Amino acid sequence: MESERKAHLAYIQSLELKVENLERTQRQASIEIRNIPSQKKENKQDLVNLVQRLGDSINVRVDESQIRDVFRLKTKKDTNQPIIVDFTTVVLKDKVLTSVKALNNTRREKKLNTGDLKIEGEQRPVFVAESLTQTTRKIYFLAREFSKNHSYAFCWTAHGKVFLRKEEGAPCRRIDSEADLEKLLHSLVK
């Protein structure tokens, strides 16, 4: 019974990995826009227009035909739900992310904000990142905590995967699971 149990656990783990890979593939052309206040009676066309204004503010042309889908995630707080944008190509997603980073690096004092997107009201910072699966989001959170606690200079995501780097020029480490963080922790202790 014990060997059968281990076989079942291994099979479940392989199925979970396949589901994670499918979700990651499904989200490879998606971004997440956070800290945008929702409007009353907001519809898809309002969100499409918002994405196009984002493109204008970072000098990336985004046609309506290049947006496969756009929607707000349902969260506990109704006021500030993230917007998920699914583009038709990964190339466009990468161009948007790169342009947002470049804009934020050139305007360190006044990074991308709601004023750039022509949203009325108090200016708030706008955060644009790739859309992560639930599992990857958890691993990214844990990796950021690990990097703070163990003096790692860099923690980032790329193409749905999480990476850590100790310092400039050091090799980067890909973190696929909590077990990878535990292995890294054990290597630091030695």
Can you give the pLDDT of all 190 residues of the chain as single tens digits?
Answer: 999 999 999 999 999 989 988 998 889 999 999 999 888 888 999 999 999 999 999 999 999 999 999 999 887 766 678 999 999 999 999 999 999 999 999 988 889 999 999 998 889 999 999 999 999 999 999 999 999 999 899 999 988 899 999 999 889 999 988 888 999 888 877 6
Buried b (16+ CB within 10 A) or exposed e, 42-52: eeeeebbebbb
Q: Domain segments of the chain: what residues?
A: 28-130, 134-189
Encoding tokens for residue 23? 């979700």
Distances in Å between the alpha carbon of 161 and those of 57, 68, 150, 156?
27, 23, 20, 8
Contact criterion met (CB below 8 Å) for 120 and 63: no
Spatial distance between the Cα atoms of 102 and 78, rounded to a whole number of angstroms? 31
- DSSP string across 125-181: B-EEEE---HHHHHHHHHHHHHHHHTT-SEEEEETTEEEEESSTTSPEEEE-SHHHH
DSSP state of 68: E
- pTM: predicted TM-score of the whole model, two decimal places: 0.82
Give the per-residue pLDDT at 79.
Answer: 67
28-130: CATH topology: Alpha-Beta Plaits (3.30.70)
Spatial distance between the Cα atoms of 55 and 49, rounded to a whole number of angstroms? 10
